[in-house]
Every structure is written in C-alpha cells, then in structure tokens.
Amino acid sequence: MQAERIRIHSTDNRATLNVEAADIKAKDVLVQAGNANVQGKVTASTHCQHNHYTADKNVKVEEYRSGKNEKYQATKIQADNLVVDVDNRLNVSGADIQAKQASIIGGQTHFGTQITTNESNARKHQSKGLWFREETDKTKAQTVHRTTVTADKLNVVATKGQVTGNAVKLAGQDAFVYGDKGVALKGVTQTTQAEATSKFKK
C-alpha cells in the first residue's frame, strides 16, 4: 500500500482494528481505532517421507522423516509522519516501523514478539532376524521476531495503563516513552532443542 497519505480508521470504538502483514509506505500515515493489533503473519508448511528398502546383506531398512517450517512476514510501515492513536488496547507485534516523526499512543501500549518454529524428526530402523538398530533425531528451533521502531523523533505513550514490551527496539534521536502506570520492558529467550537416541539388539 503506497500513497501520499494513508488513513486507517475504525468507526466502532469497541471493535479491534487488525493490520496483518501489511506493507505501508506514505508521507503521512494515520491509524485510529478503539483497539488495534499491528502484527505479522506466520505461515507453516509440513513435509513427510517414509521409505522401506533392503540394504546389503539382506538388512531391512525403514526410514521416516518429517518436519515443519514456519515463515514470517512482518508488517512494515515507512512514513515521514506516523500517528497511531488508539483509545484502549494497542498491540504491536513483530513489526518494522520507520519514520521521521512517530507518535504511537494507546490506552495500554504493548510491543510484542512473534515466534516461528522449525522442527525436524528422523527415524531409521534396521533389522535382520533378531538383530535390530534404531536411531532417532529430533530438533526444534525457535526464532523470535521482535518489534523495531526507528524515528528521528519518537513519542510512545500509554494514556491509561503501562507501556510494555518484549524484546522491543525503540530507537530515536529524540525519544520520549511514558506510561500512565509505568513502563515495563524485558527481553525474550530463543530456544533450540535437540535430542538423539539409539537402540539396538545384537
């Protein structure tokens, strides 16, 4: 979405405006709503493969592989002047925001993350008579997609509650962050898990 001026407005103050995986470029961007979620989109794909065959020395082999891959598309906003004005709950998760001047105002203002997970599973079973050998490998890796807000002049305000953030990056030459009930920012941990097992009988 590209224009000189872009206005995104919800007429129902009780409803929630959802902006997902949007690419917005304009000189002036105005977002107004009672509640708003600005976030990216996670898409998942899975694969599965199962093979049986006979190897050397008449060894029977069964192989199984499966996995899940997730891809992330962030909401991106580029503007000279950006105003986000939300009366109640404002949630910005995994977004990339760049502006010369940015005012991000909510009743409660939260900067969150979105997580993608990649998983792989493999099992190989070999057997001949009473002999067998089975090996398994499992991996699970998470990637945290954080919110980044960069502006020459940046104002972040929560008019009724807190400004909260998980792994958020707020960068500005002139930055002001205020929450009526305080500011609470913290980091987020990425995790990677791996497990391998081997069983056999002679």
pTM equals: 0.86
Burial class from Cβ neighbours inside 10 Å (0-12, 13-18, 19+) for residue 66 reads: middle
202 pLDDT band, cuts 50/70/90, is: confident
Q: What is the mean pLDDT of residues 174-178?
A: 96
- Taking the C-alpha atoms of residue 126 and residue 202, their distance in angstroms, rounded to an integer, is 12
Q: What is the mean pLDDT of residues 23-42?
A: 96
Q: What is the mean pLDDT of residues 66-77?
A: 97
How confident is the model at residue 201, as a pLDDT?
85
Give the mean pLDDT of the chain: 95
- Taking the C-alpha atoms of residue 99 and residue 17, their distance in angstroms, rounded to an integer, is 21
Count CB atoms within 10 A of the CB of residue 68: 15
Task: Say whether pLDDT at 2 is over 70.
Answer: no
Q: Are the CB atoms for 128 and 58 separated by under 8 Å? A: yes
Task: Say whether pLDDT at 129 is over 80.
Answer: yes
Q: Give residues with Cβ within 8 angstroms of 144, minimum separation 6.
A: 113, 114, 115, 167, 188, 189, 190
Q: What is the mean pLDDT of residues 161-170?
A: 97
Of 179, 200, 171, which Cα lies nearest the Cα of 110? 179
How confident is the model at residue 11, as a pLDDT?
83
How confident is the model at residue 3, as a pLDDT?
72
